[in-house]
Amino acid sequence: MAKTVIVGSDHAGLELKRELSAVAAELGYEVVDLGTKSSESTDYPDYAHQVASAVARGEGLGLLVCGTGIGMSMAANRHAGVRAALCGDVFSASMSRQHNDANLLCVGARVVGPGLAAEILKALATALKAAATSAASRRSNLLHEGRAGRALSRAARAISAQMELRGLRTVRP
C-alpha cells in the first residue's frame, strides 16, 4: 500500500498547502487534498475535522495549514486517535513523531516560510517512531489511553503542594 498524506487548509494556508503537497509527492506520498481549493475566506474547523477524521480512520498521515496552525491543531486534537503537532521548527517536527507518535502536522503559513515548512514536513515524514520499549512509547500510550489527564492532575497537585511549602501562591487544580 502506498504511503498517503491527507492535506487540508483554509484560505490563509492554501498556497503553502499546495507547495507542501508537492514536497509530500516528491517524498513518495500519495496526496489526498480535502480542500480548500479557493482563496475565498473559509472556516478552518471544517477542513481540520475532515482531515483529522481521515487520520483517525488510519487512512494516512495528516497535514493542515492555516494562518498560524493553532486553530487547526486545536480542532484536530479533538479527534480520538489523532496526535496533531503544531511545528515551527525541524527539531520539534522530528521529535513529535519520534517521541509523541504525531500523525498529523499543523503549520502556520503566516509563521513559517515555504522553505522551512518543507523541511518541517520532511523531518516529520522521515522520522521513525521511538522503540516500543522506550519511555517515549510508554508516554505515547498514556496519551492513547486517555490517562494523561489523570497523571497531569496528580502532577499539578504535587507541584502546587511544593509551591505552598515554599510560601508561593497557587491556584488549586
CA atoms within 13 A of residue 81's CA, in its CB half-sphere: 13
Region 5-34: mean pLDDT is 97
Q: Report the C-alpha gap between 40 and 43 in whole angstroms.
A: 10
pTM over 0.85: no
Q: Tell me which of 49, 99, 106, 144 is the catalytic residue.
A: 99
Closest CA to 76 of 102, 110, 40: 102
With respect to CATH, is domain 4-126 assigned 3.40.1400.10? yes
Whether the bond between 36 and the residue before it is cis, its omega within 30 degrees of 0, is: yes
Position with higher pLDDT, 7 vs 169: 7
Q: Which of 16-30, 114-128, 149-163 is predicted least confidently?
A: 149-163
Given this model, what pLDDT does residue 162 score?
73
Q: Report the C-alpha gap between 69 and 10 in whole angstroms.
A: 10
Does residue 144 carry a pLDDT above 80? no
User: In terms of C-beta density within 10 A (0-12 exposed, 13-18 middle, 19 or more buried), how is residue 108 classed?
Assistant: buried
Q: Tell me which of 11, 66, 79, 87 is the catalytic residue.
A: 66
Share the mean pLDDT of the chain: 87
Q: Where are the domains of the chain?
A: 4-126, 135-165
Given this model, what pLDDT does residue 99 score?
86
pLDDT tens, residue by residue, 73-107: 999 999 999 999 999 999 999 999 988 889 999 99
Chain centroid to CA 172: 29
Specify whether 66 is catalytic.
yes
